[in-house]
Structure 1
Amino acid sequence: MARIHKQGRTKTFADTAAADVQERVSGILADVRTRGSQAVREYSETFDRWSPEHFRLSPERIEELMASLPQQVVDDIRYVQDQVRGFAQVQRDSMRDVEVETLPGVFLGHRHVPVTSAGAYIPGGRYPLTASAHMTISTAKVAGVERVVACTPPIRGEIPAATIAAMHLAGADEIYVLGGVQAVAAMALGTDFMEPVRFIAGPGNAYVAEAKRQLYGEIGIDLFAGPTEILILADDAADPFLIAVDLLSQAEHGPDSPAVLVTTSDALAEEVERLVDEILPGLSTKDIAGDAWRDYGRIVIADDMDELWQIGDEIASEHVQVFTREPREALERMHDYGALFLGENTCVSYGDKVIGTNHVLPTLGAARYTGGLWVGKYLKTCTYQEIRDPGSSGELGRVCGRAARVELFEGHARSGDARAARHLGDRVEWIEAVTGEKAPA
């Protein structure tokens, strides 16, 4: 049976359901529905002290901001976006439209149709997450989304130039310096200065996440997001230094970010805990990472590898690093995770920033039923049907009539009857009563 080496708190979806957050968000959304642009401007002024003449940036202003950046920053943004686009294109190419003839002259198929418009929310606040622009905008464009609207808040009253550059280079069609619930509301509901979108993706704080949750159904969203999570699965051959570094790399996301190690080695557990305590004081984000490690850091010791994989699935973490002798075993042994990072050469930070897979991933156990954001999220798989053979239409009509009447759907049954009569000459009393004509015997 597994033993707890370091106890830490766990988070669930119940933690996201704070009544004050729900009520506040509900009020803002209702106000934007009623007062539109004026409400959006007032909330922007209240929360971000930001009320420019135009929230949308002009092409000239975008070019000015781009020019203000070091060339290396721009080059690195281009490099990372090339990785994201490349993998998203491989994913898109894997999704085939299909058509099959199931009966003589009966053709069924589906097409992957992109949503016509999407919104991308790029957080600001403590960290300007330029990488979120790569993940949400580039992926949408590879999917074929015609219009992508991107919003990001000002940071301390300034426009975040690197974030704007990332949005522009990713392919955003409209860029707005606008944040918080008011940005999500503007994208979802529309304003005088912004047409609404059909789908919104991107991470954000508890208020942004709650706004997306409340709007879901009226628009599509990528997923319900909570704090960033990391789980490291390690055997006794793993490097404790890399584990300690990687745990803290994710703990710095926020004071409630879970950082968990599950290992089969007591010695490794002890050494990792010692190294975390040694590394933490020298980390510039030590206040945030330290709180997260103190309150949400956990170390669990499993009896064997079977139990290690079992615990990993039970946790269903957003990010799972596998530092074992045979890391690819996780591909067969695990089912519930947002993304796997296999082997000590691979880390979550690569996924967050540079490697090319999408970093918008399920948290709070949602990996039990969904994956993360990918090109397929921007696509609707839509079916179509066509019957070219009259005889097949008539035969299906006969079955439809019988099947529908079992369920007491007389109208459905008559749709089938009409085809059976037309194509196969069936005698149908209700048709004779309506038309006054008898079908041929």
Structure 2
Amino acid sequence: MVVYLKSKPHANGTSSSPKIDVPSIVQGVINDIRTKGDSAVRSYSEKFDRWSPSSFKLSFQEIENIISKVPKQTIEDIKTVQHNVRTFALAQRESLKDFELEIRPGVHLGQKNIPISAVGAYIPGGRYPLLASAHMTIVTAKAAGVRRVVACTPPINGEIPSSTIAAMHLAGADEIYILGGVQAVAAMAIGTETMDKVDFIAGPGNPFVAEAKRQLFGEIGIDLPAGPTEVLIVADHKADPTTVAVDLLSQAEHGPDTPAVLITTSREVGEKSIKEVDRLLKILPTAALAGVSWDTFGEVIVVDSLNEAYELADKYASEHVQILTEHPREALEKMSNYGALFLGEKTCVSYGDKVIGTNHVLPTKKAARFTGGLWVGKYLKTVTYQEVTSAQESGELGVLCGRAARAENFEGHARSGDIRANTYLGESFGWLQ
């Protein structure tokens, strides 16, 4: 039995306010940048960010001057967090092995993992300086072996976000631009007179940034489709309602459209958690955003058993799934659809967002059903190669290829096999006469 103590006020969980035609606006910006290059980039930067310096790219000296203004403790914290991210990313890279096997005598098949040559990292600004996004996108790319990383971040209220620049530089960015929005994504993807194009773009952003990545996908690669942050908590009767409430609101403060869901086996925990959320929203400095998300997208659901809770949570396929139960590691076996799991009350989603070392660029809008989040493997091209050194095996493969190709009416393919069967086995074919 499923009981909703709190459900979304709208049937689809969305606002009834008029919608902006984001795809059309984004397409117009991309088309302008494609035809006008830097002049269009500058025009849109002036329009959207009121930012038009002589050069959007920061020089090494400018970077050094900006970083010198960042508090020493912030620099040390950046280095600590980036060490965690780098350590985990390098371990991921080490797990991806190149290999070669001899599938038959003289027939060699191999696999190589080759880093993408040039990557763009988009570091959002908007409401807050998002240092962590620099760690997740740039450090991970460099751990994968990417040679050139271009990093873009917008100004915040007309100012350069110095701490973000420090994070980008210390992460290993090769080029840093104070440039945001669609114009940044399009400039990186298409290239302009002053910015060489990249092959892949990673990083979160607002709906316009996400739509720009979607429209440019195919011309360049992207990490994954991105939507508003999501959090789902699975809790049993032993969960602390205050912890539940705090952890739900910690994600709801990302913006006004964050789904925050509690699935619990305890009606008491559910009811007390709702009361705690209401109490905390009266004192939380970011309540203006978090409260809108909670009112519009917040849900509290009571189920009969943890198995039912895990099954329902899998249907949500949430970006962040936090397990506040007596035996949290049980979720590793019971669940399969999530961006990332956070196991036990000593762990929280905010650790994953900011400091612990796993990547926080994760699938949203149920994309966790078919993909994981950003990781070192996203920056690698897994390619294969083959070599036949045995004449006998090449001839026998030629005979097999001829039959297999003709079963599909691919005569040209068949003849590639025929000629090797003829050369190495002496097989006769009418077309060779």
TM-score normalised by the chain length of structure 2: 0.98
- Other-structure match for 1:209: 210
Aligned positions of 1:28-67 closer than 5 A: 28-67=29-68
Q: CA deviation at 1:334?
A: 0.2
| Residue identity matched to 1:214 | Q
Q: CA deviation at 1:305?
A: 1.3
Q: Secondary structure at the match of 2:262?
A: strand
Counterpart check, 1:117 vs 2:110: no
Change in 2 beyond 3 A, CA 1:10/1:212: farther
Counterpart check, 1:231 vs 2:232: yes
- Other-structure match for 1:399: 400
- Describe the superposition over 1:397-424 as per-residue Cα deviations: whole angstroms up to 9, x where unpaired: 0010011111110000000000000000
- Other-structure match for 2:180: 179
How far apart, in 2, do the equivalents of 1:279 and 1:35 lie? 50
- Other-structure match for 1:417: 418
Give yes or no for contact 1:101–1:107 (8 Å, CA) kept in 2.
yes
- Other-structure match for 1:302: 303
- Other-structure match for 1:189: 190
Q: Secondary structure at the match of 1:125?
A: coil
Change in 2 beyond 3 A, CA 1:281/1:223: same
Q: CA deviation at 1:11?
A: 6.7
Alpha-carbon RMSD across the aligned residues, in angstroms, is: 1.4
How far apart, in 2, do the equivalents of 1:248 and 1:305 lie? 23
How far apart, in 2, do the equivalents of 1:398 and 1:235 lie? 63
Counterpart check, 1:369 vs 2:370: yes
- Other-structure match for 1:77: 78
Give yes or no for contact 1:254–1:292 (8 Å, CA) kept in 2.
yes
Q: CA deviation at 1:19?
A: 6.8
| Residue identity matched to 1:30 | N
Q: CA deviation at 1:279?
A: 1.0
How far apart, in 2, do the equivalents of 1:203 and 1:11 lie? 24
Counterpart check, 1:2 vs 2:2: yes
Q: CA deviation at 1:239?
A: 1.0
Q: Which blocks of at least 5 consecutive residues in structure 1 are unaligned?
A: 433-441
- Other-structure match for 1:330: 331
How far apart, in 2, do the equivalents of 1:154 and 1:253 lie? 19
| Residue identity matched to 2:397 | L
Give yes or no for contact 1:322–1:330 (8 Å, CA) kept in 2.
yes
How far apart, in 2, do the equivalents of 1:427 and 1:151 lie? 62
Residue correspondences, number: 430
Q: Secondary structure at the match of 2:197?
A: coil
- Other-structure match for 2:319: 318
- Other-structure match for 1:384: 385
How far apart, in 2, do the equivalents of 1:70 and 1:215 lie? 38
Counterpart check, 1:134 vs 2:150: no
| Residue identity matched to 1:2 | V
- Describe the superposition over 1:108-142 as per-residue Cα deviations: whole angstroms up to 9, x where unpaired: 01100110000000001101111000000000000
Change in 2 beyond 3 A, CA 1:10/1:224: farther
- Describe the superposition over 1:265-319 as per-residue Cα deviations: whole angstroms up to 9, x where unpaired: 0000010011111111111101000111111110000111111110010000000
Runs of at least 4 residues of structure 1 off by over 2 A? 9-13
Q: CA deviation at 1:43?
A: 0.3
Q: Secondary structure at the match of 1:359?
A: coil
Q: Secondary structure at the match of 1:119?
A: strand
Q: Secondary structure at the match of 1:4?
A: strand
Q: CA deviation at 1:429?
A: 1.2
Give yes or no for contact 1:10–1:258 (8 Å, CA) kept in 2.
no
TM-score normalised by the chain length of structure 1: 0.96
Q: Which blocks of at least 5 consecutive residues in structure 2 are unaligned?
A: none
Give yes or no for contact 1:12–1:365 (8 Å, CA) kept in 2.
no
- Other-structure match for 1:438: none
How far apart, in 1, do the equivalents of 2:361 and 2:256 lie? 19
How far apart, in 2, do the equivalents of 1:423 and 1:97 lie? 31
How far apart, in 2, do the equivalents of 1:177 and 1:249 lie? 28
Give yes or no for contact 2:319–2:339 (8 Å, CA) kept in 1.
yes
Q: CA deviation at 1:34?
A: 0.5
- Other-structure match for 1:341: 342
Give yes or no for contact 2:13–2:297 (8 Å, CA) kept in 1.
no
- Other-structure match for 1:435: none
Q: CA deviation at 1:10?
A: 7.8
How far apart, in 2, do the equivalents of 1:340 and 1:10 lie? 28
Counterpart check, 1:291 vs 2:292: yes
Change in 2 beyond 3 A, CA 1:345/1:163: same
Aligned positions of 1:155-170 closer than 5 A: 155-170=156-171
Change in 2 beyond 3 A, CA 1:291/1:411: same
Q: Secondary structure at the match of 2:281?
A: helix
How far apart, in 1, do the equivalents of 2:230 and 2:11 lie? 10
| Residue identity matched to 2:2 | A
How far apart, in 2, do the equivalents of 1:38 and 1:309 lie? 52
Q: Secondary structure at the match of 1:327?
A: coil
Q: CA deviation at 1:61?
A: 0.5
Q: Secondary structure at the match of 1:282?
A: coil
| Residue identity matched to 1:406 | A
- Describe the superposition over 1:345-377 as per-residue Cα deviations: whole angstroms up to 9, x where unpaired: 000000000000000000010000000000000
How far apart, in 1, do the equivalents of 2:271 and 2:159 lie? 45
How far apart, in 1, do the equivalents of 2:13 and 2:143 lie? 33
Q: CA deviation at 1:98?
A: 1.1
Q: Secondary structure at the match of 1:385?
A: strand
How far apart, in 1, do the equivalents of 2:130 and 2:100 lie? 41
How far apart, in 1, do the equivalents of 2:381 and 2:2 lie? 43
Q: CA deviation at 1:187?
A: 0.2
Q: CA deviation at 1:78?
A: 0.4
Identity score, percent: 62
How far apart, in 1, do the equivalents of 2:317 and 2:12 lie? 12
How far apart, in 2, do the equivalents of 1:110 and 1:319 lie? 33
Q: Secondary structure at the match of 1:128?
A: coil
